[in-house]
Amino acid sequence: MKADFHIWRGDASGGKFEMYSTEVAEGMVVLDAVHQIQAEQANDLAVRWNCKAGKCGSCSAEVNGLPKLMCMTRLSELPLDKPVLLQPLKAFPLIKDLVTDVSWNYSVKKKIKKFKPRAPDAKDGTWRMYQQDIDRVQEFRKCIECFLCQDVCHVLREHQLYDRFIGPRFLVYTAALEMHPLDIEDRMDDLKKANGIGYCNITKCCTSVCPEDITITDNAIIPLKERVADRFYDPVKRLFRLFRSK
């Protein structure tokens, strides 16, 4: 059977949706259809991909208005009686067609304080950790940096607070460091000020689009917000800090 695809074509200076019709078969994903259109009808169609297995995070786009990995979105999940709408991520500058410039994310990552382990627990230079503490951060390390959570986050997408908020991806990254049983770095001040955790109002949009099913809001962002609240707003701790600083 044939299916129709409305694909955004253009670059930063402008563009428009173009309609393509292509043969589809059972088991095809959106990225298959895009490759077929690229091969048969639009050789200059720009699309970023790499693994085609949901693990590299390259093929992020908006499919029928929802942030998705094109390689993991089966055509059978979509209503093919209407054209499938394909657009680039809206939260990042467009390079061409379905490809956006996500380099802002890499500059954010560089600014987050790195892993700083405590001194080794044993004379042979090794550490001792509880498995449950490792399990807790393991979830965060599943992130493939597809940036779908950044794309759907209204603080970035609508309000464009790129200079004040690091977005859910990097709150997850910070959580993985902060909750690591060996880490002794202090990122609370950065989280509150430069990294803008207060801007997140826990709508859970990020959690709902994560292809790795990371419980971004409940397991990463809310515990970090609690740590920031404990540090800066707990009256007993504030009093304690006041006395200590005298």
The 3 state secondary structure assigned to 164-183 is CCCHHHHHHHHHHHHCCCCE
Among 30, 37, 58, 137, the residue binding ligand FES under the rule CB under 6 A is 58
Least Cα distance to 174 among 151, 190, 155 occurs for: 190
Q: How far is the CB of 102 from ligand FES (least distance, A)?
A: 13
Least Cα distance to 108 among 63, 55, 153, 65 occurs for: 153
Among 7, 30, 34, 57, the residue binding ligand FES under the rule CB under 6 A is 57
Among 71, 75, 84, 171, the residue binding ligand FES under the rule CB under 6 A is 71
46 binds ligand FES (CB under 6 A): no
Among 21, 25, 39, 50, the residue binding ligand FES under the rule CB under 6 A is 50
Among 7, 30, 59, 224, the residue binding ligand FES under the rule CB under 6 A is 59
Stretch of 55-63, 78-86, 111-119, 235-243 contacting ligand FES, by CB under 6 A: 55-63
Identity of the residue, 75 or 197, whose beta carbon is nearer to ligand FES in the bound complex: 75
| Residues lying near ligand FES in the complex (CB under 6 A) | 49-52, 54-59, 69, 71
